[in-house]
């Protein structure tokens, strides 16, 4: 059962990790928590469903459907993320740090109610797209969906890592995160880099949304809330602002939840408590998170 719970947790954690990246990228550069990110994730799921119900998409073979839905959901979520930044955060760039945070909460409430009122207030079934089969691993089994969720997540996270570490744009992003003013002086268009962070974060959120929809088979206007909190916790656990930390935090929380609910009697009732309890414990010992760097307060 241990391996089985590990597999369950890994799939769950991959989704958390993808979303956590969106939080951490934005925080790394702007030092703000983008509370609207959970709603970008939720919208991403509806975008993906919309893409799948397009008549020219639904006729294609499963693999093409998946690819198109993934690209469309990532694109639409990326644009939404950048749009939110432009409308709700950019005008507040020089306001106090609290202002964009409150603006983010406002955007989150707005988007949730938008879908609630104008799309649907019910759970909507989400197609599985790929056929379901199981791979036996000793006593455990891994389903095709779990393989897909884990594979796509790790692929995207690999891309992101490559992008940040090896490309010049990625270098510019790191520079902006390190010291925005200095980056600006050395000719980096920091405003565009900020937009880029929102674009990438949104795209990863959109991908997570599609995977989440396929994995659980239903989506709803409030689906972002709990997942968003968990992903944010993951980002903080790993050290907010740190990309590898977000992935590590996401996977850890997913696995902890599965093991907690799987092994502790009555554990499923207290499932949500495990991740937050671990967060508190880690923060007590390492306030900067697992991989976070200790930085002095910026002036």
Partner 1 sequence: MNIKSRAILISLSFAGFLVSCSPQEEVYRLALAVPLTGDIAAMGLGMKRGADLAVEEVNKQGRFGRVIELKAFDDRADPKEAVNVANQIVSDNNIAAVIGHFNSGCSIPAAQVYARKDLLMITPGATNPKLTLQQLEPAWKWNKVIFRVNTTDDVQGQFSANFLFKKFKLKSVAIVHDKTPYGQGLAEEFKKQFETNGGTVLSFDGISVGDKDFKALITRIKTRRPQALFFGGIYNEGGLLIRQARELGLNSAFLSGDALQTNEFLKLAGESAEGSYITNVGVPPEKIPSAQAFLEKFKAKYPGVDIQPYDHYSYEATMIALLALEKAGITQGSKDFNRLKMIEFMKALRYDGVLGQTEFDEKGDTKNKAITVYKVQSGKFIPQDF
Of 261, 195, 250, 252, the closest CA to residue 228 belongs to 250
Asked if 147 touches partner 1 (CB under 8 A), the answer is no
Which window, 67-75, 156-164, 171-179, 260-268, contacts partner 1 (CB under 8 A)? Answer: 260-268
- Partnered with residue 219 across adjacent β-strands are 124
Q: Which of residues 213-242 bind partner 1 (CB under 8 A)?
A: 216-218, 220, 222-223, 225-226
At 151, list the tokens: 């594979």
Which window, 63-71, 156-164, 181-189, 265-273, contacts partner 1 (CB under 8 A)? Answer: 265-273
Which window, 1-9, 33-41, 153-161, 231-239, contacts partner 1 (CB under 8 A)? Answer: 1-9
* Residue 78: C-alpha distances to residues 22, 26, 105 (Å): 10, 13, 19
Asked if 258 touches partner 1 (CB under 8 A), the answer is yes
Q: Residues 195-214: x/- map of binding to partner 1 (CB under 8 A)?
A: --------------------
Least distance in Å: CB of 173 to partner 1? 32
- 143: buried, middle or exposed (CB in 10 Å: 19+, 13-18, 0-12)? middle
Residue reference for tokens 């990326």? 78
Whose Cβ is closer to partner 1: residue 226's or residue 283's?
226
Report the 10 Å Cβ neighbour count for 257: 25
Asked if 269 touches partner 1 (CB under 8 A), the answer is yes
Asked if 110 touches partner 1 (CB under 8 A), the answer is no
Asked if 119 touches partner 1 (CB under 8 A), the answer is no
Binding test (CB under 8 A) with partner 1, winner from 91, 106, 125, 158:
125
Residue reference for tokens 């925005």? 180
Whose Cβ is closer to partner 1: residue 123's or residue 195's?
123
Contact, 235 vs 37, CB < 8 A? no
Binding test (CB under 8 A) with partner 1, winner from 262, 286, 288, 290:
262
Contact, 75 vs 206, CB < 8 A? yes
Which window, 91-99, 117-125, 155-163, 240-248, contacts partner 1 (CB under 8 A)? Answer: 117-125
Looking at beta carbons, which pairs linking 48-54 to residues 24 or more positions away fall under 8 Å?
A: 48/72, 48/73, 48/126, 48/206, 48/209, 48/210, 48/213, 49/124, 49/126, 49/213, 49/219, 52/127, 52/129
Residues near partner 1 (CB under 8 A) are 1, 4-5, 8-9, 11-12, 116, 121-123, 125, 132, 134, 141, 143, 145, 216-218, 220, 222-223, 225-226, 257-263, 266-269, 271-272
């Amino acid at each position: 059962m241990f391996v089985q719970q590990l597999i369950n947790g890994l799939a769950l954690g991959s989704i958390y990790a993808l979303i956590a990246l969106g939080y951490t990228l934005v925080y790394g550069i702007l030092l703000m928590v983008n509370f609207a990110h959970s709603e970008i994730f939720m919208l991403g799921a509806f975008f993906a469903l919309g893409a799948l119900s397009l008549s020219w998409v639904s006729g294609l073979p499963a693999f093409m459907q998946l690819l198109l839905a993934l690209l469309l959901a990532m694109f639409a979520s990326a644009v939404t993320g950048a749009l939110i930044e432009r409308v709700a955060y950019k005008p507040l760039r020089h306001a106090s740090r609290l202002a964009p945070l409150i603006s983010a909460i406002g955007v989150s409430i707005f988007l949730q109610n938008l879908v609630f009122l104008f799309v649907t207030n019910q759970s909507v079934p989400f197609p599985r797209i790929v056929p379901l089969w199981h791979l036996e691993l000793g006593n455990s089994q891994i389903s095709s969906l779990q393989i897909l969720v884990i594979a796509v997540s790790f692929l995207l996270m690999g891309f992101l890592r490559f992008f940040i570490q090896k490309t010049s744009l990625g270098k510019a992003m790191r520079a902006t995160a390190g010291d925005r003013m200095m980056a600006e002086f050395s000719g980096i268009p920091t405003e565009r880099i900020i937009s880029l962070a929102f674009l990438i974060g949104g795209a990863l959120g959109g991908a997570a949304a599609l995977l989440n929809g396929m994995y659980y088979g239903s989506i709803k206007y409030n689906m972002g809330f709990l997942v968003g909190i968990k992903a944010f916790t993951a980002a903080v656990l790993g050290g907010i602002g740190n990309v590898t930390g977000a992935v590590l935090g996401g996977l850890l929380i997913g696995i902890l939840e599965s093991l907690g609910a799987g092994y502790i009697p009555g554990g499923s009732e207290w499932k949500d408590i495990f991740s937050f309890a671990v967060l508190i414990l880690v923060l007590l010992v390492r306030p900067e998170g697992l991989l976070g760097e200790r930085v002095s307060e910026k002036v």
